[in-house]
Amino acid sequence: MDLKERAGAGFAAVEEELKAISRWMYENPETAYEELEASQRLADFLSRQGFTVEYPAYGLDTAFAARVGNSGPEVIVCAEYDALPAVGHACGHNIIATAALGAGASVGPLADELGLRLTVLGTPAEENIGGKVDLIRAGAFAGATAAMMIHPAPEDTVDPIALAITHLSVDYYGKDAHASAAPWEGRNALDAFVQLYVAVATFRQHMHPTDKIHGIPTHGGDAPNIIPSHTRSEWYVRAGTRERLEEMSARFTAMAEAAAAATGCTVEMGQTGYEYEDIQSEPTMVELFAANAEALGRKMGRAKDRPASSTGSTDMGNVSHVVPSIHPMIGMDTKGAVNHQPEFAAHTITPDGERAMRDGALAMAWTIIDLAVGDRWGELQRPGK
């Protein structure tokens, strides 16, 4: 039995347990930095597979690092497991996590034979804060030769585009007054938010296809008969590159300040999560993963054939700027549902969703084997080179 067959047998031995973990995560979603039960279950699984598990890790209560192998290049497989508010695992992090576990269970027993070190890294809070940025700053990727993860989506794409993003809060402050008896005595902070929302809407006509601004009010006032003296909203500003993101952020700040001036209010702006970088897919790993996915029956699409505007953001982009990385999207036939819809979450625990988990795990495992057997490490392009 060759190495890839042995990796496949290793996955098959734990496949049913991984399906059960994925379903449990679907039924018990936990949001950013609250993934206490999920992270514990994932860490416990890896411990039973012979990994040395550090949990918690790198100063984060819900991060873990599970390691196997005594020497050689280090490959990091990233596991995400935070859910979205209200819609649960509608981005399929239950598949991401279990695919990472599956890759670990497949390659872990072969690590010393392959001459590598394998780390399955538990990375919390991808959806709105950026746990991988915390992990980068704590040194989790400092010694890594390569990093990878997979992400479910409606289509297969081996080298997806991911936009740079900044997460912002906007607080407007005005003056309370009776909304009927003496509204002229007030300064309406809700009006300021509305002005900002309209300014963003009118600006959309002039945005690049990869520019995005979207936001919601999280506090709009206290009662209809009180002129709101305070409103708060949260916004995501995205662009194709960090440089363009700086331009977009400056434009958004100007709109927020103009809305304050127009309504006689003051404004305070803050950052609610880390900035995410655009993603850089490492070419050698892209080619290896695409070939391995094809061996599993998947023809991986390429980013150049997809609309650049139809994409999101990920803190894996930040990882790709410090270590050679890939972040393939594994397609599911979601019957028209897209990421961040409840129907997408429900699809993750169907046979088709479970196949995506299996294919993602094995394609990562086989890619790691190809890198080691072919001694391809020196071909990997370091970020910025």
What values do phi and psi take at 170, rounded to 5?
Answer: -130, 120
**What CATH number does residue 168 fall under?**
3.30.70.360
Tell me how many domains the chain contains.
2
Q: Are residues 216 and 83 in the same domain?
A: no
Task: Say what the pLDDT of residue 349 is.
Answer: 98
The helix or strand, by DSSP H or E, that contains position 3, with its residue range, turns out to be helix 3-27
3-state class (DSSP) for residue 232: strand
Q: Which of 249, 271, 293 is the last residue of a domain?
A: 271
Q: What is the pLDDT of residues 75-102, one digit of tens each?
A: 999 999 999 999 999 999 999 999 999 9
DSSP-assigned letters across all residues of 90-146: TT-HHHHHHHHHHHHHHHGGGHHHHT-EEEEEE---TTTT-HHHHHHHTTTTTT-SE
Beta bridge partners of 212: 238
Q: Are residues 242 and 313 in the same domain?
A: no
Q: What is the pLDDT of residues 340-371, one digit of tens each?
A: 999 999 999 999 999 999 999 999 999 999 99
What values do phi and psi take at 331, rounded to 5?
Answer: -75, 145
Beta bridge partners of 79: 122
Task: Say what the pLDDT of residue 385 is.
Answer: 60
Question: Quick one: CA dihedral 150, 156, 159, 161, positive or negative?
Answer: negative
pLDDT band at 227 (very low <50, low <70, confident <90, very high): very high
Range of the domain at 47: 3-161+277-379
Q: Are residues 284 and 371 in the same domain?
A: yes
In the numeric block, the tokens 């023809």 are attached to 299
**What CATH number does residue 145 fall under?**
3.40.630.10
Q: Are residues 63 and 206 in the same domain?
A: no
Q: Which tokens in the block code for residue 369? A: 């084997």
From CA 15, how far away is CA 26, in angstroms rounded? 17
- Is residue 15, in this structure, part of any structural domain at all? yes
Q: What is the pLDDT of residues 172-215, one digit of tens each?
A: 999 999 999 999 999 999 999 999 999 999 999 999 999 999 99
Determine the average pLDDT of the residues in 126-151.
97
Q: Are residues 292 and 152 in the same domain?
A: yes
Q: What is the pLDDT of residues 306-315, one digit of tens each?
A: 877 778 999 9
- 160 close to 279: Cβ distance less than 8 angstroms: yes
- Is residue 152, in this structure, part of any structural domain at all? yes
* Predicted model pTM: 0.95
- Is residue 384, in this structure, part of any structural domain at all? no
What values do phi and psi take at 149, rounded to 5?
Answer: -165, 170
Q: Which of 213, 243, 271 is the last residue of a domain?
A: 271
Q: Which of 271, 288, 304 is the last residue of a domain?
A: 271
